[in-house]
Structure 1
Amino acid sequence: MKIQNIETFQAAIPLHTPFKTALRTVTVAESIVVKITCDDGIIGWGEAPPTHVITGDSLASIDYVINGIFKPLLVGESILCRERMFEKVNTGVVGNPSAKAAMDMAIYDCIAQHAKMPLTQFLGGYHGKIETDYTVSVNSPEQMAQDAQQYVNDGFTVLKVKVGKDLIETDIKRIQAIREQVGTETLIRLDANQGWSALEAVKAIRKMEDLGLNIELIEQPVKANDLKGLKYVTENTTTPIMADESVFSANDAKIVLEQGAADLINIKLMKAGGIHEALKIAQLAKTYGVDCMVGSMIETKIGITAAAHFAASQPNVTRYDFDAPLMLSADLVDGGIIYNGNVIDLGDKVGLGIKSVDSQYIVG
């Protein structure tokens, strides 16, 4: 079972509502779609969105790495020798985690199809269904409260609220407005996207604790490389702190876990370079008794399906941030995961269960 061909396509789908964080605003979901064709007819799918402010990847760099580096390395290689395949992907180029992730998920799709298993079962099969949160973008307190109520009306019981873009006082007003609007039963988690200093984070979190805003967790309150600051925030607040941009690799996770710099870890395939490394991060965190969330960038259902299958396969992945396809104005693929409100059904199809890609959203 050898790789016969590797192709890439550029996709672009408008979002129905702009996605705003402390780092960027997104109005169109762009990605490089990867198609691996094997000599037995099996086709595997992957994707990589450009997220310059986090991974450093661009559409051009992703496409070049896949076609200029990975294609010559992997065409003709056997999918069944997967450790050799992943070693070539991981050592073939420094950095470029999103390009690696796209290749990685397409390879896993092929392997699971060959094994005649859904990918989540191939990886471990721990959960049958999972529930996603929905993200409230950074806006005025009034607008965020309205948006939050709409998502609750749509059936979402967990909201991920973006903060860290401007004054801490404004962030607190945002959370107060949302909590007053949705009540006490809705779970609220915050994502500062590296927007605070350590001292600002402690001040803001303690204030929210004093106000009884009942925040589930705070994601990446400080700069990615400020592990001293991350540890300071973790040790000086009672609200759980999650490392996101501070953890790309298993080695990053090892440092964070050894230092006790965070209570939780957010794993993203686009940071980790795919499922192969993500499994190492999850298993390492498990040895420390640390739970993980699996999140995503602004991806289509290809990348989110791969992330959901990975997340559902691991016992210490207890939180899921897979709302990106729900933000898009259309669906790129036929197949993949199925959304029933906030519940994600992984389905029973082999591999990722993706049948085809809609050509009308392929650019060029």
Structure 2
Amino acid sequence: MKIQNIETFRAAIPLKKPFKTALRTVTVAETAVVKITCDNGITGWGEAPPTHVITGDSLAGINYVITGIFKPLLEGESLLYRERIFEIIQQGIVGNPSAKAAIDMAIYDCISQYANMPLAAFLGGYRVRIETDYTVSVNSSSEMAQDAQVYVDNSFSVLKVKVGKDQIAADIKRIQAIRKQVGESIVIRLDANQGWEAKEAVKAIRKMEDIGLNIELIEQPVKAHDIKGLKFITENTETPIMADESVFSSDDARRVLEEGAADLINIKLMKAGGIHEALKIAALAGVYGVDCMVGSMIETRIGITAAAHFAASQPNVTRFDFDAPLMLAGDLIDGGISYQRNVIELGNRSGLGIVGVNGEFLVE
């Protein structure tokens, strides 16, 4: 089974509501779609959204890497020797993890179709359905509380609340408003997106603990490079701390785990460069007895389907952040994962189970 052709398309889908974090505001989900066609007729799909503030990837850069570098390197290569393929991808260019992820997931789609297995089963198999959280964007306290109630009314029992955009005191007021609105039974996790400093974060987290806000975990409170600060917060608070932007690769994960700098790790295919490296991160975390979350950027159901299959295949992936397609005003694909409100069903089709792409959202 050889790669016969690699194609890219650009897609853009408006969001229902602006997505706001400490790093950016998104109103339209733009993405580069990858299609790999094999000589036996199997077709695999992948995608790579540009997330400049996290991965450094742009649409133009993603397209160049895929068509200008990977296409000539990979066409004609046999997918039956996938470790060689992934070595070619890693050696082909430094960085550019989102472009690598798009190619990687399309390759895994092809291989698992050839094996006639859903990708999650091909990767090992552990779950057939998972429950996602829903993200509350940074806004005023009252708007965030209202948004949180809408999500709870739609059966979401886990909320991921974005903070870190301004002073921590304002963040605490937002969280208090949300907790008062949704009650004590709803799980609340926070994502500061690198927006805090270590000492102020410890002070604020201790205050949240003292007033009983009952926060499940806090994701990436400090800058990605500040492993010392991350460790300081982890060692000086009771609330579990999760590393996100601090961990792109298995080398990053090893450093965080060896330092004891975080209690949990958030794996994203767009950071890791795809499933191949994500598997290494999850395995390494498992050796240290550390659980993981799998999340995403603002992606369509192509990328989220790949991430969900990976997440469902790993026993130490215990948290799932796959709400991005629910934020979009349209759907790019037929097939793939399906949502029953907060529950994601993987389905029993082979590979990613994608049967077609909706041309309405493709851009010239």
What TM bracket, shorter-length normalisation? over 0.9
Partner of 2:175: 175
Partner of 1:259: 259
SS in 2 for 1:280: helix
SS in 2 for 1:355: strand
Shift of 1:204: 1.0
Partner of 1:249: 249
Residues 285-340 of structure 1 deviation map (CA, whole Å, 9 limit, x = unaligned): 00000000000000000000000000000000000000000000000000100000
Unaligned runs of 5+ in 2: none
Residues 67-120 of structure 1 deviation map (CA, whole Å, 9 limit, x = unaligned): 000000000000111000111111100000000000000000000000000000
Q: Distance in 2 between the 1:151 and 1:176 partners?
A: 17
Q: Distance in 1 between the 2:127 and 2:121 partners?
A: 9
Q: Distance in 2 between the 1:91 and 1:143 partners?
A: 47
Partner of 2:131: 131
**What pairs with 1:159-170 in structure 2 (closer than 5 Å)?**
159-170=159-170
Partner of 1:66: 66
Q: Distance in 2 between the 1:126 and 1:352 partners?
A: 16
Shift of 1:203: 1.1
**What pairs with 1:1-20 in structure 2 (closer than 5 Å)?**
1-20=1-20
Q: Distance in 2 between the 1:302 and 1:8 partners?
A: 13
Shift of 1:51: 0.2
Residues 249-299 of structure 1 deviation map (CA, whole Å, 9 limit, x = unaligned): 000000000000000000000000000000000000000000000000000
Taking every aligned residue pair, what percent have the same amino acid on both sides?
A: 78
Unaligned runs of 5+ in 1: none
Shift of 1:128: 1.2
Partner of 1:29: 29
- The yes-or-no answer on 1:45 pairing with 2:45 is yes
**What pairs with 1:68-147 in structure 2 (closer than 5 Å)?**
68-147=68-147
SS in 2 for 1:188: strand
Partner of 2:236: 236
Q: Distance in 2 between the 1:84 and 1:312 partners?
A: 25
Shift of 1:22: 0.2
Partner of 2:299: 299
Amino acid at match of 1:180: K
Residues 152-208 of structure 1 deviation map (CA, whole Å, 9 limit, x = unaligned): 000000000000000111000000000000000000000000000001110110110
Amino acid at match of 1:164: G
Amino acid at match of 1:119: L
SS in 2 for 1:19: strand
Partner of 1:152: 152
Amino acid at match of 2:249: S
Amino acid at match of 1:155: S
- The yes-or-no answer on 1:212 pairing with 2:245 is no
Q: Distance in 2 between the 1:206 and 1:342 partners?
A: 31
Q: Distance in 2 between the 1:341 and 1:305 partners?
A: 16
Q: Distance in 2 between the 1:347 and 1:128 partners?
A: 8
Q: Distance in 1 between the 2:186 and 2:62 partners?
A: 38
Amino acid at match of 1:260: G
Amino acid at match of 1:292: C
Q: Distance in 2 between the 1:144 and 1:48 partners?
A: 29
Shift of 1:248: 0.1
Residues 50-75 of structure 1 deviation map (CA, whole Å, 9 limit, x = unaligned): 00000000000000000000000000
SS in 2 for 1:202: helix
Partner of 1:286: 286
Amino acid at match of 2:33: V
Amino acid at match of 1:28: V
Q: Distance in 1 between the 2:18 and 2:354 partners?
A: 27
Partner of 2:221: 221
SS in 2 for 1:322: coil
Q: Distance in 2 between the 1:108 and 1:90 partners?
A: 16
Amino acid at match of 2:117: M
SS in 2 for 1:298: coil
Q: Distance in 1 between the 2:359 and 2:299 partners?
A: 17
Amino acid at match of 2:13: I
SS in 2 for 1:130: strand
Amino acid at match of 1:338: S
Shift of 1:215: 0.1
SS in 1 for 2:7: strand
Q: Distance in 1 between the 2:145 and 2:100 partners?
A: 38
Q: Distance in 2 between the 1:106 and 1:86 partners?
A: 12
Q: Distance in 2 between the 1:319 and 1:290 partners?
A: 12
SS in 2 for 1:253: helix
Q: Distance in 2 between the 1:27 and 1:203 partners?
A: 34
SS in 1 for 2:33: strand
Superposition TM-score, scaled by structure 2 size: 1.00
Q: Distance in 2 between the 1:89 and 1:11 partners?
A: 24
